[in-house]
Every structure is written in structure tokens, then in C-alpha cells.
Structure 1
């Protein structure tokens, strides 16, 4: 039976690239889908996960006597939240391991809490009082009878003190040894270790001791500009600043140190040469307790915003076999230099101009983007973590690890790409996702009805696509993104669609400056809503007024729910595109007229500014559900999801707040206001350009840089905010005088609150 399963898998999923990778004859085993539960369907993965769980299967033969294995843990605490906690639960469920979830007050009804076998409260919503509370997590683990703790990524995943404390309590930390965490957690010490191991590093200056500002200035001048300031501890883009001139060095240094101090409790930084056209290429490594280390190929994570990844792929495109092997060899050498145990990622900067690569840092944990590696290797990396943490050898040798096809991961964030990718918060009023399959995997942590909180990272979910080659994988990714419908918070889904269809991205022209370089293509001018979208919007509003199911004894008054005392019903609508999608600038209104002589049959005329009217005749329409409308437009039957959001985010003054309609039509999302009077839109426009500086999201005020009566210049920093682990500097938009300061350091301010008012000089 097992051999038949392997043969079927080989026919469907093993591609020609396998032979090129030197692993011909690989056979993979499909996990049984029997007993798939409702929660499994929510996670979107078990029935489509692939694994090589037993050493020896990859050689094409099944050993009569597999080597003895130590038993895995029976009970595991997951010290994390969101999609990664759900991801770990999925593997534990497959292996028969009981799971313990922990949660803050904000996550009391979260998906990971519902999926785990047990769940314990940690404390209030702020992460410092819950998910970063080392003592509380240890206390829960002991009380619940856990044998091991999986930290996921973020929070305590790279905290050496946490690993030490768990060991002292007799609990296994699912991660590397304490010394490896300490050595690789310090960017300065890690560079010394890498240089000694023969791994090339970026030229720069670092020290394990605090360095005076004057010395950092001197070293920066010696190194030359542009350069990069980087926090010695941590990652995720925190405490990183690019500096292009000596005048910008001190402000950037101060900001980087402050952010590093808050994120990692350590303000030490290093400086290094800034490579103008870098790619971010990283290698997945794994080590066991016997000193064996393997590479599971590399990933490209070059397309980033705010130094954080948004789309990743494996393997990295455009690398020669020699470079690919050299990267893997150097990554394995880096891991062996610190006796590495478990999952780790060695990150390199790849210079596009010279084809040279340099060690950047090592992440001593499972990465957010690990699913793309799982898709091209057929391995379950969480299972690998549990195996080696239990004392078992690596499931595969280096020459047994396949490289099958190509995979992409797109991260779906609650953020507004048009507003410099600033995070957003609020409820997921509506969420619809594509259907998982063998080639499409979803990593979900927040179903419809969840709340995206200001206290945590704004990652909502991840979509992972796999194909026989890069072109096919990218096509599957684009199609899947068309099936992602989210309303309630701003998301980057539309931006990801533009990115996945960008010609330069298709042509593999990758570097970390990709978004800035192709900004005009990725953020095209906002155009008037499509006539079909406007038609569906008004039909939704009209049909929602009618009863979905009339009783058999319906009277004429019931059947003509929105009709008056005439045979013809006519109604006029006016819509404005969402100013939030146009940098706060109101756009001309679109007008729609609907005429109906029979229930369910309509004539619709759409008039967009500067365009000829578009008419849809004899449109048949009905509601499929409370959010989905079906209609015939130009003899084509279409289904459209429409979600009404009320109240919307309060970025505009309260007098201009209106409901929003989110229309998901044929793979695209359009957001409309319904419908503010023109004079109120003018008030909004004046308020947004009068020098009033407002909070772009719920935030903590970190610093107020000005006082009432003070003169300021355009572009001068006036307030520093922090939200969702991101520091935001608000600047004066005009030359003028500060007439009002509406906040102070330490305040929690709501979205849209006016913090500073600047009266223009002229």
C-alpha cells in the first residue's frame, strides 16, 4: 500500500527538476486524509500536506528495520499566537501530540485557543504582560504538565534567558542551544564567528561592547556613505536605518537605538557598508544532536517594505549551480561553527552587481517563510524540529533532500500600502479565501470576526503556491490572490496582485529596492470605478431592502417592497471612491440611475466623470446570501461579494464619516463611500491639508518634538508614534508655527486624532 501511494505521488508531483537536483527516484508519501476535522478545514492544510517522516523512504526503498527512534513528546506548550500557533497545532495533531495554547486577554477567543487541547490565560493584551512574560509561560507549562515548549517565531523564540529557564525547570526548548542563540543573536559576535569559519561578511564596524557616539561617527566617516545602521540584537527590520549623508547620521542613529531598546532591550548598534543593489537570499539549515547539519536549499526574500519581507520564493531564481552549492556549503559551515541544533536560517546579502554574497545574520528559529521550503522539499519542518529536539537524528541526509519545482509565499497584512504600508487595526468583518489544493496552501490564524490588535504584528495570513516551475507557481499565486476577499481593515492584497503580475518581477529583476524602483507601476493612478462594479453596488443596496424569500401568501405590498404608487420605480445613487485609497484626496463622484418595472429586473445607467454613460439593460439580479449578489450584466452572469462597513476608519473628520461599500468583483476589490455631500468632502479636503497632523492608526506617543508657538519647517519631525511594533515619524507638511499640541509622551491616541496643528507662515 505504501509503495502504491509513493508511486502515485511520483506520477503527480515529482518533476524534471528532481533529476537536476541529484535526487532522482525520490518517492514521497501522502499523509492520510481520514479523520480530517472541521478545524483542519479551517487551517486549510492537513489534507494537502506532504511529508517524508521516516529516514530511508527518500532513497526509494523501505528499510526492513528502520533505526530505533526516541519517542516524541506527548504534550507541548506553544508560546505564541496567530497562524504560527495554528501551524504547530496541525503538525502536533498529525503526530498525536497534545497541545497547550496560551493567550492574552485580546486573544481569549482566538483560533489557536479554540484548536488547542488546552488553553491558559497569560495576562493583559500588551505583549510585555503576556506573550513576553517568561515567568508566566514557565508557570503555565509546569502546571499543565508540558514536556516541551515551542516558541514559534517572534516573542521569546530567540531569547536565550527563556531557553535557560526552561532547561532549569526540566522543560525542552524547541530550538537551538543557549550558546548558539547568544552567539547568533549578537550581530557583532556572529560576524566574528563567521569570519573565523570562512564565511564572508559585509565590510563594516561592530563591537560587542557599547560604543560612544563619537566613535560611531568616526567609523561611519571612515567606512563612507551610504551605510546601514543595524541593531546588534534582534531582527525583522527593527533598529535598522539606511543613511546616505553625514547630516542624516545622528538622527538615524538616535531613532535606530530607541527602536532597538524598545524591541530588544539593548540599544547597541553596528554599521556596515550599504550595497546599492542587494538581493536577500537565505538558506534553511537543520542540525541534530550528533553534530549533523544539512541545508534544505535557499529562498529569495528580496522584495521588502520597511526592511520586512512580504513575498518569498524557493529556490532563489537565477543562481548558477555553483553559487547555489557555495551558499549551502557556507550556511552549513556557519551552523556547524556554533554546534547548531534544530531549524535555523542563515541570511546572506547577494550583490547583484558582483554576484558576491556576504553573511548578514542567522535567525535561530523557524522562519515565517518556512512553508516555501516545505513545498519544494516535501518535508514538515515542524516535525523535523520535534524529532531533533527529542534526540532523534535528522530525517534525511544531505544527498536525500529533494528540490521539486518552485514555490511562492505571499504574506497578507493588515496595512495600507498607499499610506507607506502603515499597519491597520480593527475587525475582520468579512473574509473569504481560495480553496486549498495540492498546489495551494493557506496558513490562517484569524478567521472572519477576529480582531487585528494594535499590540501585535499585523500579519493576517499567508498563501503558499507551488508549481512545476517559477512561471506556473506565480500563475497559481496570482489566481489565489484573486480569491482573497477581506473587509474591515485595509490589506495589501491588491498590492500583492500588482506585484505578482509586474513584468520586472516576472523577469526575475529582484533586489531589496524593488518596490521603490517600480513604485509607479505598483501604485498606478486611482481610476474611476468600473461600471459593472457600480452596477453591482446599487443592485446590492436595492435587493437588500427586499425580503430574500417571500411567503406563498405574499401581498402586492410585500412583493413591491421598494416600489411606490406607480408602475416604474426609479432611484438615483452617488458614490465617491474611498479617499483613503487616494492619499486623503476626495475624487469626483460617480452617479448611477436604476429603473425597475418588475421585481428582480432592472435597467442600470452608470455615469463616471468624463466618460460616456454605460447602460445595462434587462439585468436580472438576486441575492445568493447576505453578502453575495448574482446578476446578468450584458448577458454574462456574474457573482459579486459586497460588504457594507459602518462606521469606517475615522481618518477623516467625524462630520464626514459615511458607510463604505467593499465590492469584490471578478478578482478585484473596489471601496466606495455612500454617499457624503460635496460640502462635507470639501471640509475633509481642507482639514487634511490645513497643517493638522493626525494619528494614522491607534498608536502610542513615543516622543513629541515641538511645543506650542514654535516655528517649524516642512518635513521637520514633530511626533514619533509606535504601533504594531513599528515606529512612525510624523512630519510637518508646511512651513509655519505650531498652534496646538494635542498629545504628550506616553499617550495612547486613537486613529484620526489631531496631534499637532501647524499654521502656515503664509
Structure 2
């Protein structure tokens, strides 16, 4: 077994991995950016090292720096978690080539083969796993896409070959949309996955999203741990996941599980992974493989009793799975609710800011995976998820009722979150019947009644009074890139770890009359207007990336663009003037 493991990630997944390490008697090493200096995953680890500034490209995505820190800390394993470098085959290969350090995950060869959606589709076809009709090779220009669309019919989907989580995916309804959609898919693929290659699929109109959890050891044993239903999505990204699926027949469940095993065995896969399918009209189609631990691994753990993260580490250390497929049993039902810093009443727009109140629920059947604390600034630099609420019970009906109780006692103030959405959906008949598909949330967003219901459930922010009573506080001090905790006497009680954060969310520039402001912090991905151009109300002025989502900033009135104040790549604050109009 390993002596010390570095977690090349942040937030709740970093703590989840460290908890598994503690139980395996493995030391833990955290890495952090300047934005995360006071974060919970840093405090949780045995050791912590700075890797760079807030921008992920200069910290959590800095491959050379992370390997350098691993050597400095004398770690003998690296676990990538999910996101960031977790599915980067190049980084896995670098770790594999580094003496004395083991990669916790599949081999870089398997990641390369299955990480590309085109080669993954080829592999699954060879294993007799049905795939969504479309190409198994990349496309380069609009004319190719037009030809494919004529073959399969509209709508079609242009997807980044290295994509996932809905990023790098563009739905095309007719020929006139192809050129822009192709450009956007390539751009997102390059930005998020360092791979501009795209392919084309037939767009399924109303599918369920079903995925199968896989564990495979280095002795050739491949097991599936059942399926999860991840159909409740916004912007093609999951919001609620559950296990098992409430709608699969036993026959279809068996076919999908066996297909997932067959495909991963064909790929020579080891460690944990997930095979994702779309299910429509009683048929299932392979969509993609996630060559890492999933955000929603928790619900599978709850119904199987198997610690997937521990087995990732054990398999990487050379251990053999002690189970046969017949040993895997499924008990009860589990649902996971992603608690995101987003406003569901505003189409899930990102809402970074300060957690004035943070009191999660507890007691029977409730699990909280999180890495935040009351008073913390939720940064706009990273993913919007601040925690996960997982509820388990003996049946789906009881699990939903228990979830209502847990959500009622989940108290967050200071920022808008997805909690009101979760409370709404648990009373929704379509969800309760399990009839929701991947399109359902998008349909809800178009309904005024949904927006009003969500707004009524949203809590007002609460600002707590400050106290000047002296206290003994723990303060983090960085020395030569490594973090240490020291105690300081005499700080006021409001000067806790939360108040030491230097992250702010100011209204930087109050816009002049006629200006168009940023309604969130973010990075300018594109500027879509030119000076002197006449634009109408509702037209896109620019696109901002915030919390790993692209957000269109549109004109709230028509006019002529008289001045453009930002350029591609600029960082902007909420309230900052982007464009002046007359």
C-alpha cells in the first residue's frame, strides 16, 4: 500500500479522497491556489503546498508544478479526483513515467482510447455495444456536417471528442446553424479539454441518461456496480442523480450492465470508470466513458456498500477485487442533490459570493460531501458546486420523503443556490413518477409558473452582526510554498478562517446610462459586437465564462454600440460595464 498520496484537486472530492486515505492509513498531501489558501481541503490534509494563482490554468492544471510538488512532498501516488486533470491522458502518462509515483486511475493508454469520443465509439462498436448513429471519425468543416445531417436528418449534435458534462456540445436544428455551432464546439473543446476535434451524432429527442459504474482490476476482472439515472440536467449538466433507475426493466438493466462490462473489457480498462448511455423507446445507445471517479459515485456506494474511492487506491496498489458479479447486491434507493452556487430562477446563472449562513442537515439517512464553511467566499474561478446532499432509504418513495426533510433543514444564506429547485422538483409529479428525461428541466425553465415557484422558495440573505470579543484563533501561514497552522491570541471572534479570505465580489464600475453590464464575475470568452453596429434587444453582446459555464450577456435594449470596454480573455467583475450604447 502507498505511504503518502497527493490529491491533484480541490474541494469536496479532495476531502472525499483524503478520508479514504485516512482509513487506509495513507498520508495525504493537498495542493491549493491562492484563491483556496483558506479552503477546507487544505486544512483537512496532513500537508499542503501552493501550486499557483487562482486561474486553474496556472495552478490546478499546471502539470509540471503538481509533479514537482509530489516529489517535494515525497508522495508515492497521485489521485486526480474529477475535473481538472482527471481525464488528461498526457498528465497520466507523465505520472506513469515518474519514478516512485503511481497514477490512481486507468492507464494513460486506456484514457487516450476512451477519452476521445470517436475512438471510444469505435471500441464499443467492436465490443457489440450499440452506439448513437453518427460518425466515428472527426469532422473539420461545415460541408462535412451538412452531408452527415442530410444522411441522419435534423436535429444533430456536434460534440467535442474530448468533451464531457455537456461542454463542447452544440445542438443543430438546421443547416443555417452549422457554421456557428461547429466553431463553438471546437472552441469549447480546445478551452476545456485541450482538444478541438469534434464529431457528429444524431440527436435523440427525449432520452433518459443512464450510466453504469465499473470497477476493474489489473488481473482482468471487470465488474459493474449497477446503474444510475442522471436524467435531471440543466445545460446538459447533471443536477440530481439516483440509483437505481426508477424506470428500467430488469431485462434492460441486465443488458446495459453486461454491455458496459463488455466494452470496458474490450478496452483493457482498469480501476474505476463509468459507461454512459442514452435510453429511448426501450433501446439503449452508448454515449461516452468517463475515465475517472464520478461526482455521483456516492449513490452507488450507498446501495452497494462498496467504497469506490478506496478500491481505486487498492487496485492501483495491485490488489485484486474480492468479488464476483454475483456478489454485488443492491439495497434500497439513494438520491444525490448537487448544491450549486447558481440561481435556478435565472436559468441557473452562477452566483459566487459569501456564505453568510451554512448549516447542512444531519441525522438518519443523510450524507453530506462538502468542503465549505460558514463565512467562506465561494469563488467564481472554479466549478459552481459547493457540496452534495446524498439521501438513502429502503425505497424511492421513502427516499424522496426523507429528502424533503433534509432539504427543509439545509440552511444557506448569502448566495442563491439550487436548494429551492430541489425542493420544487420533489413535489413535481413527473419526477416522482420517474418520467423525466434529459429535456425536462429545459422545459420547466420556459414556464413562468416554475420561475415564480422557485423565487418564492428562495431565501433572503442574512448578514450576521460582528463581535469584538477576543479569542484564540488558528491562522494559516505559508513558508516556502508549504502551509502551516499557528495559533494567535487576541483576534476578534469574527476574524475566523472565513474572514481571512481575500476574495471579493465588488461592483467594479457602475455603468453609465445606456451601458450593458456584466451580471456575474467571469472571463470574456468572446465579444460578439463591433463599434458602430446596430443591435436589437436580446442580441448577444459577449459571452462570459463563470464557474465552468458559458453565459451569454444580451442587450436589454436596442441601439448602436458606441464603445466596447472589454476584450477576449479579460476578467470582469459583476456590475462592470462591458459595452456602451446610444
The question of a shared fold, defined as TM-score above 0.5 by the shorter chain, is answered with yes
User: 2:159, 2:185 within 8 Å by CA — same for their partners in 1?
Assistant: yes
Q: CA RMSD in A?
A: 2.7
Aligned counterpart, 2:560: 737
Question: Aligned pair in 2 of structure 1 residues 525, 197: CA closer, same or farther (>3 Å)?
Answer: closer
1:754 to 552, 577, 581: 577
CA apart distance, 1:649: 7.0
Query: What corresponds to 2:137 in structure 1?
Result: 207
How far apart in 1 are the matches of 2:246 and 2:454?
Answer: 32
Structure 1 segment 85-100 matched on structure 2, within 5 A: 85-100=14-29
* 2:121 matches 1:194: no
In structure 2, distance between residues paired with 1:444 and 1:127: 20
5+ residue gaps, structure 1: 1-71, 546-625, 628-647, 656-686
Deviations 1:442-497 (A, max 9, x none): 00111123222122111100000001110111111121111111122221111111
1:377-456 correspondence runs (5 A): 377-437=304-364, 439-456=365-382
1:112 counterpart (41, 57, 68): 41
Residue 526 of structure 1: how far off its partner (Å) = 7.4
Matched, 1:308 2:240: no
Closer, same or farther: CA 529–468 of 1 in aligned 2, 3 Å? closer
| SS of corresponding position for 1:518 | helix
Q: CA deviation at 1:213?
A: 3.1
2:108 aligned with 1:178: yes
Correspondence for 1:491 among 400, 412, 417: 417
- Structure of higher RCO (CA pairs closer than 8 Å, 6+ residues apart): 2
Among 155, 161, 165, the residue aligned to 2:90: 161
Q: 1:617-628 maps to which residues of 2 (within 5 A)?
A: none
Q: Deviations over 1:255-309 (max 9, x none)?
A: 2211111111111111111111111000001100110100000000001011100
Deviations 1:520-556 (A, max 9, x none): 35323578899xx99x99xx99xx89xxxxxxxxxxx
Who is 2:282 aligned against? 355
User: Is the contact made by 1:709 and 1:739 (CA closer than 8 Å) also made in structure 2?
Assistant: yes
Alignment check: 8 A CA contact 1:204 1:271 kept: yes
Which residues in structure 2 correspond to 1:73-152 (within 5 Å)?
A: 73-152=2-81
In 2, Cα distance between the equivalents of 1:253 and 1:212?
Answer: 8
* Secondary structure of 1:460's aligned partner: strand
Whether contact under 8 Å (1:495, 1:522) holds in the other structure is: no
Counterpart CA distance in 1 for 2:118 and 2:298 is 29
Distance in 2 (CA, whole Å) between partners of 1:529 and 1:332 is 43
User: Deviations for 1:658-688, whole angstroms, at most 9, x for unmatched residues?
Assistant: xxxxxxxxxxxxxxxxxxxxxxxxxxxxx9x
Which of the residues 709, 733, 740 maps onto 2:532?
709
Aligned positions of 1:651-690 closer than 5 A? none
1:521-536 matches, cutoff 5 A = 522-524=450-452
Give the aligned partner of residue 223 of structure 2. Answer: 294
Q: Assess if the C-alpha contact under 8 Å between 1:285 and 1:332 holds in 2.
A: yes
Please give the alpha-carbon distance, in whole angstroms, between the structure 1 residues aligned to 2:289 and 2:234: 20
Q: 1:744 to 1:222 in 2, by over 3 A?
A: same
User: What's the TM-score once normalised by structure 1's chain length?
Assistant: 0.68
| Residues 181-260 of structure 1 mapped to structure 2, 5 A cutoff | 181-208=111-138, 211-260=140-189
| Alpha-carbon distance between aligned partners in 2 of 1:260 and 1:417, rounded to the nearest angstrom | 26
Structure 1 moving runs of 4+ over 4 Å: 525-530, 648-655
- Whose Rg is larger? 1
Of 371, 383, 405, the match for 1:479: 405
**1:427 touches 1:449 (CA, 8 Å); kept in 2?**
yes
The secondary structure found in structure 1 opposite 2:452 is coil
Aligned residues: 548
Seen in structure 2, the aligned counterparts of structure 1 residues 527 and 393 have a Cα distance that, compared at 3 Å, is: closer
* 8 A Cα contact 1:732 1:758, kept in partner: no
Task: Say if 1:720 and 1:730, in contact at 8 Å, map to a contact too.
Answer: yes
SS in 2 for 1:362: strand
SS at match of 1:301: strand
- How many angstroms does 1:134 deviate by? 0.9
* Greater displacement, 264-273 / 482-491: 482-491
- SS in structure 1 of the partner of residue 326 of structure 2: helix
Shift of 1:126: 0.8
Matched-pair contact (CA < 8 Å) for 2:122–2:136:
no
Alpha-carbon distance in structure 1 between the residues aligned to 2:344 and 2:272:
32
Query: Partners in 2 of 1:472 and 1:284 — Cα distance?
Result: 24
Q: Which residue of 1 aligns with 2:394?
A: 468
Contact 2:345–2:454 under 8 Å retained in 1: no
1:264 matched to 2:190: no
Q: CA deviation at 1:654?
A: 5.8
Counterpart CA distance in 2 for 1:326 and 1:338 is 18
Instruction: Classify 1:293/1:509 alpha carbon distance in 2 versus 1 (closer, same or farther; 3 Å).
Output: same
Distance 1:372 1:136, change over 3 A: same
Which structure 2 residue ranges, 5 or more long, are not aligned? 467-492, 495-503
CA contact (8 A) 1:179 1:338 kept: no
Deviation at 1:652, TM superposition (A): 12
Structure 2 length-normalised TM: 0.89
Q: Distance in 1 between matches of 2:300 and 2:102?
A: 25
Shift, 1:77, TM fit: 0.8
Contact 2:154 2:202 in 1 (8 A): yes
SS of 1:254 mapped into structure 2:
helix
Displacement of 1:348: 0.1
Alpha-carbon contact 1:691-1:732 (below 8 Å) kept: no
SS in 2 for 1:195: helix
C-alpha distance in 1 between matches for 2:450 and 2:359: 24
**Quick check: 104-113 or 692-701, which moved more?**
692-701
Cα separation, 1, equivalents of 2:564 and 2:385: 33
Asked if 2 retains the 8 angstrom alpha-carbon contact of 1:259 and 1:727, the reply is no
Give, in whole Å, the separation in 2 of the partners of 1:404 and 1:307. Answer: 29
1:115 to partner: Cα distance: 0.9
1:605-652 Cα shifts (integer Å, max 9, x gaps): xxxxxxxxxxxxxxxxxxxxx99xxxxxxxxxxxxxxxxxxxx97779
Distance change in 2, residues 1:264/1:245 (3 Å): same
* The one of 201, 213, 236 aligned to 1:284: 213
Indicate how the Cα distance of structure 1 residues 525 and 653 shifts in structure 2: closer, same or farther if over 3 A, else same: farther
